[in-house]
Each structure stands twice: as structure tokens, then as C-alpha cells.
Amino acid sequence: MTKSEFAKKIKSALNLKNEKDAKAVIDKVADVMMEVLKAGDEVKLGELGKFMVTERAARKCRNPQTGEIMEVPARKAVKFKPAMAAKVLFID
């Protein structure tokens, strides 16, 4: 689903005037989520799940083209853990 398709659904769900307003809502939610994650906090979204920041350790890897061994530095990454309600949707 593209941002425009998602905006159409948000527009109808929130009874907004146009898609531009829906896209503004989507952008603002994403901005707020990024601010919270940058601060190191979790974002819990009810029955959907939660986003959290995790630490990834430094590691060594090999460049497949040259075979050169390289060091990948430690970094932070965003991880998503789905809630049980969201997991149940995909169980056959």
C-alpha cells in the first residue's frame, strides 16, 4: 500500500476534507514517532505492536565482491514487535 492509498483510507476513516490533510496526519504521526525513538523510548500502538530502539554490536563481515574483511561499527536500529492481536491475523 502506498502513502496515497493509505491517505485515502485515513481520509475516509477520520472524515477529513481531502487527502492532503490525511497525508499531513500521517507525516505528523511519523515525525512524533521518530522523536520518541530518537529519545530512546518505545512507541506502543495498542493492538498493532511496539517500536523500540535496539543496540547492534560491532561485527566483522566480508565484501562478497572483493573478499575483503571489513568492520561494521556498532549502531542503533529500530525494531518492531507485533502484538498478539496482530500475530493472530496471519496464523492459518
Query: 22 burial class (0-12, 13-18, 19+ CB within 10 angstroms)?
Result: buried
Residue 30 to residue 37: CA distance in whole angstroms: 10
Residue 46 to residue 34: CA distance in whole angstroms: 18
Which pLDDT value is given to residue 88?
76
If one compares 7 and 84, the residue with the highest pLDDT of the two is: 7
pTM of the predicted protein model: 0.73
Chain segment 17-69, per-residue pLDDT in tens: 999 999 999 999 999 999 999 999 999 998 889 999 999 999 999 999 999 99
Q: Which CATH architecture has domain 3-88?
A: Irregular (4.10)
Residue 92 above 70 pLDDT? Answer: no
Domain ranges for the chain? 3-88
Confidence of residue 87 (pLDDT cuts 50, 70, 90): confident
| 3-state per-residue secondary structure call for the chain | CCHHHHHHHHHHHHCCCCHHHHHHHHHHHHHHHHHHHHCCCCEEECCCEEEEEEEECCEEEECCCCCCEEEECCEEEEEEEECHHHHHCCCC
